[in-house]
Amino acid sequence: MRFDILTIFPQAFDSYLKESILKRAQKNKLIEIHIHDIRDFSKDKHKKVDDVPFGGGTGMVMTPQPLYDSITFVKKKNKGPVIFLSPQGKIFTQSKAEKLSKKYDELILLCGRYEGIDQRIRDTLIDEEISIGNYVLTGGELPAMVTIDAISRLIPGVIGKEQSHIQDSFSKALKRKKEYPHYTRPKTFKGMKVPEILTSGHHEKIKKWRESKLK
Ligand code: 4FD
């Protein structure tokens, strides 16, 4: 999967995407992430990317020119849909992550800042608008990272096969959001014991116990 991210805050991605499992996935050529600074496309003498809203009101709006030019530039290399991360978008779910990961090899993610983007860009260049939840953030950068993470881990080889999404409690195969309690070594931690059944080796009994503990 190829992701192209459009942002005015490219450094925001350094922390997460250059570490963790997604770093290995990039090294192993399972995913490709290209980050573009919208400001680099501004034709304004001060590289401005925002302006006051016509009709008045509070806050700033991202101007169309840098958005138009940066999106048009990225579309030459990435043939996937342009997804705008916004609190007004359709809620992003596990099912949506699965659909996007199956349907596309390439995605363009547009991160907004300020109060939003000029409506003419929305009307002409945005294919989908996605929200990661009903809350407002200072930018679409965290939502873009959440989206990339959720989609990438569904690509075969990105996460270890023992944790593969096929047996993930949140996957469609299981069709439920339930999970049983997990324990690991040591058997006793600060006096708290691991349920004995789990260390008994009785696989059938363990299966039954886990089913009884689903939450
Ligand atoms: N819930 C989300 C996405 C972006 C965001 C922004 C309009 C504000 C929350 C467009 C207004 C983008 C989300 C940036 N906050 N803030 O997914």
Q: How far is the CA of 76 from the centre of ligand 1 (A)?
A: 26
pLDDT in tens, 34-93: 999 999 999 999 999 999 999 999 999 999 999 999 999 999 999 999 999 999 999 999
Phi then psi for 124, rounded to 5 degrees?
Answer: -110, -30
Residue 125: name the closest of 78, 58, 56 by CA: 78
Query: Is the distance from CB of 152 to CB of 28 less than 8 angstroms?
Result: no
Substitution candidate for ligand 1 out of 49, 82, 86 with most atoms within 8 A of CB: 86
* Residues contacting residue 50 through CB under 8 Å, at least 6 positions apart: 60, 61, 62, 63, 113, 114
pLDDT of residue 12: 96
pLDDT in tens, 136-165: 999 999 999 999 999 999 999 999 876 665
Catalytic residue among 115, 128, 129, 149: 115
- Is residue 106 part of the annotated active site? The answer reads no
Q: Give residue ranges with CB within 6 A of ligand 1.
A: 85-87, 112, 115-116, 131-133, 135-137, 139-140, 143
Per the DSSP assignment, residues forming a β-bridge with 108 are: 4, 82
Dihedral sign for Cα atoms in the order 37, 41, 47, 51: negative
> pTM, whole model, 2 decimals?
0.91
Residue 40: name the closest of 7, 16, 63 by CA: 7
Per the DSSP assignment, residues forming a β-bridge with 136 are: none
Ordered by where they begin, the domains of the chain are 2-152 (3.40.1280.10), 180-215 (1.10.1270.20)
Catalytic residue among 40, 51, 69, 168: 168
* Residues contacting residue 138 through CB under 8 Å, at least 6 positions apart: 113
pLDDT confidence tier of residue 167, bands split at 50, 70 and 90: very low
Flag whether pLDDT at 168 surpasses 90: no
Q: Distance between CA atoms of 4 and 67, rounded to whole angstroms?
A: 14
